[in-house]
């Protein structure tokens, strides 16, 4: 275990990706928790370029960026736990990577924009962007799952991990801001997938409970509101 370390916070969805991958692979590791708003000396030394979590350290060698780390874990422990996380088929691997990029580039920023919105109009626009993104991912799920439980078919695969890390955030944004983002009527396949994902044994081992996520989102929402008010003054 001393050779495998993870720097991060369990409330970060990007750190959660790595935690889920390690849980799937049944790899033991030492978790080095960062305090919110602070950057440890080890973090700055290990990720001098971006200076952010997560950082994965294997044999004293740091690897940064959640997508890179998950692929590294998959390559280093190919037969451990669940087996391969990335699909065996090259085309499906490409699709999983494409939709992961979409989630990071478009979907999650729109989710954050809902919480940061200073006006009702801004909030409504961000909500519609998230809903539109979920409709696209609904189509992707139907194609990739081939009628089975997960994006990876019968088991969790790369896109399940990379998008699934956000499902509790989506739920807490819905609850706190009274919006519907991932509802059964509009995106039934994706809604069902989210419920199954949360109940997966490897996910339940590391997923922070919704109450903790909700309290953290309330804290962030208050911080963003203060920043917006200060910017006006």
The ranges assigned to domains in the chain are: 4-76, 90-215
For residue 225, the model assigns a pLDDT of: 85
pLDDT tens column, 121-135? 999 999 999 999 999
pLDDT tens column, 24-82? 999 999 999 999 989 999 999 999 999 999 999 999 999 999 999 999 999 999 988 88
Q: Coil, helix or strand for 165? A: coil
Provide mean pLDDT across the span 131-141: 98
Which numeric CATH code is attached to 4-76? 3.40.30.10
Which numeric CATH code is attached to 90-215? 1.20.1050.10
Helix (H) or strand (E) holding 20: helix 13-25
Give yes or no for a contact between 23 and 203, defined as CB atoms under 8 angstroms apart: yes
**At residue 232, does pLDDT exceed 80?**
no
Could you give phi then psi for residue 98, rounded to 5 degrees? -60, -50
The β-bridge relationship of strands 55-58 and 30-33 is: unpaired
Domain 4-76 identical in fold to domain 90-215: no
pLDDT tens column, 156-165? 999 999 999 9
Give yes or no for a contact between 7 and 57, defined as CB atoms under 8 angstroms apart: yes
């Amino acid at each position: 275990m001393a050779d495998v370390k993870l720097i991060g916070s369990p409330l970060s969805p990007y750190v959660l990706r790595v935690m889920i991958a390690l849980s799937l692979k049944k790899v033991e590791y030492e978790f080095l928790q960062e305090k919110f708003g602070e950057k440890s000396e080890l973090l700055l030394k290990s990720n001098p370029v971006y200076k952010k979590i997560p950082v994965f350290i294997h044999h004293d060698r740091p690897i940064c960026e959640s997508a890179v780390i998950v692929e590294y874990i998959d390559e280093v422990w190919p037969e451990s736990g669940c087996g391969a996380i990335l699909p065996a088929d090259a085309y499906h691997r490409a699709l999983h990577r494409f939709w992961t990029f979409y989630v990071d580039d478009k979907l999650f920023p729109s989710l954050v924009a809902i919480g940061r919105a200073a006006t009702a109009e801004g909030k409504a626009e961000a909500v519609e962007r998230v809903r539109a993104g979920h409709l696209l991912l609904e189509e992707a799920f139907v194609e990739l799952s081939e009628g089975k439980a997960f994006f990876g078919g019968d088991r969790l695969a790369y896109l399940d991990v990379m998008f699934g890390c956000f499902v509790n955030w989506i739920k807490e944004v819905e609850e706190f801001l009274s919006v519907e983002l991932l509802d059964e009527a509009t995106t039934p396949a994706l809604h069902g997938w989210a419920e199954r994902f949360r109940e997966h044994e490897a996910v339940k081992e590391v997923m922070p409970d919704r109450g903790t996520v909700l309290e953290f989102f309330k804290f962030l929402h208050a911080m963003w509101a203060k920043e917006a008010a200060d910017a006006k003054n």
